[in-house]
Structure 1
Amino acid sequence: MKYRKATFKDIEAIYQLVADYAEEGVMLARSRNTLYETLRDMIVAEDEDGTIAGVGGLHIIWDRLAEVRTLAVAPQKTRQGIGAQIVKRLIAEGEQLGVEKVFTLTYKPGFFQTLGFETITKEELPHKVWKECIDCPKFPNCDEIAMVKV
């Protein structure tokens, strides 16, 4: 598996991967526009055939605070450590920038617990985190679980 920064040519594959999970209700949808705007945030896992097997992004929110988001692994590639590798690489990238706290909003808390994340209340996150929530179809009834790794 090859891990690299996402490029423009990856957008459609990322969009479809995220859309499939969003349809199942286990991930929030991302528009193509959002994917283009956050392209520099993302890392992809590419298999030996050049197919995108996974994606994840590290979005800088505020002073030394970042969010792991848009994390998805192709269903046929799950349980192979791809998601964990993406998260570890995103955290390492954040550390190079000086990020001290990484959080996520997830429907899969067990996965993030294995990577050292702890469940917190959403109220423990700074208000700056919620600026994009207004565009979410679940706003204001967010049912994602907030987790943090310090």
Structure 2
Amino acid sequence: MVKIRKAMMEDVKKLHSIITQSTKDAMVLPRPLNSIYSHLRDFFVAESDEGEILGCCALAISWHCLAEVRSLVVVPEARGSNLGAKMVEACVQEARELGVCDIFVLTNIEKFFAKLGFEETDKNVLPQKIWADCINCPLFPDCDEIPMTMNLK
């Protein structure tokens, strides 16, 4: 059985490793080790009964009443087991508890997020502050990711 829990200090190097591996497949943006340490409280992890980290997902507060679901990764051998959905749901629940009004995601797997209640939107409706990470993306400025939002109110 897999449990979804908040990340802890002992998880950082494994998070960095699985995010880096996923970066090679162009699934997520790279996250330097120091960024994972400084944003550790944003992360949820999926952990097996044996204590193995099978995935991660983060909820990053972007602005007043706005947060981003980011760095969603499930290790290849655990894909298709609903872990991604469970971690996103944990982020959505935390966003509600924090009083966040809207959450967004930039993704190339829009069908997955649509099943979870996200709706496609125009990039221009998201504040410019959000695009700060995009400058570090190898695809910038020709981003192929779809912006999607979910209203929580």
Same fold? TM cut 0.5: yes
- Once the two structures are TM-superposed, the CA of residue 139 in structure 1 deviates from its matched residue by 2.3
Separation (CA, whole Å) in 1 of partners of 2:84 and 2:102: 19
The code of the aligned residue for 1:50 comes to G
The code of the aligned residue for 2:12 comes to I
Aligned to 1:71: 72
Aligned to 2:40: 39
Q: How does 1:8-87 map to 2 (within 5 A)?
A: 8-87=9-88
- Once the two structures are TM-superposed, the CA of residue 18 in structure 1 deviates from its matched residue by 1.1
The answer to whether the Cα contact below 8 Å between 1:54 and 1:73 also exists between their aligned partners in 2 is: yes
Separation (CA, whole Å) in 2 of partners of 1:94 and 1:75: 27
The code of the aligned residue for 2:105 comes to T
The code of the aligned residue for 1:80 comes to S
- Once the two structures are TM-superposed, the CA of residue 120 in structure 1 deviates from its matched residue by 1.1
Separation (CA, whole Å) in 2 of partners of 1:108 and 1:115: 12
The answer to whether the Cα contact below 8 Å between 1:22 and 1:29 also exists between their aligned partners in 2 is: yes
The answer to whether the Cα contact below 8 Å between 1:27 and 1:107 also exists between their aligned partners in 2 is: no
- Once the two structures are TM-superposed, the CA of residue 140 in structure 1 deviates from its matched residue by 2.1
Aligned to 1:120: 121
Aligned to 1:129: 130
Separation (CA, whole Å) in 2 of partners of 1:90 and 1:104: 12
Unaligned runs of 5+ in 2: none
The code of the aligned residue for 1:81 comes to N
Name the Cα RMSD after superposition.
Answer: 1.2
The code of the aligned residue for 2:116 comes to L
Q: What secondary structure does 1:40 align onto?
A: helix
Separation (CA, whole Å) in 2 of partners of 1:43 and 1:120: 25
Separation (CA, whole Å) in 1 of partners of 2:69 and 2:119: 14
Identity %: 41
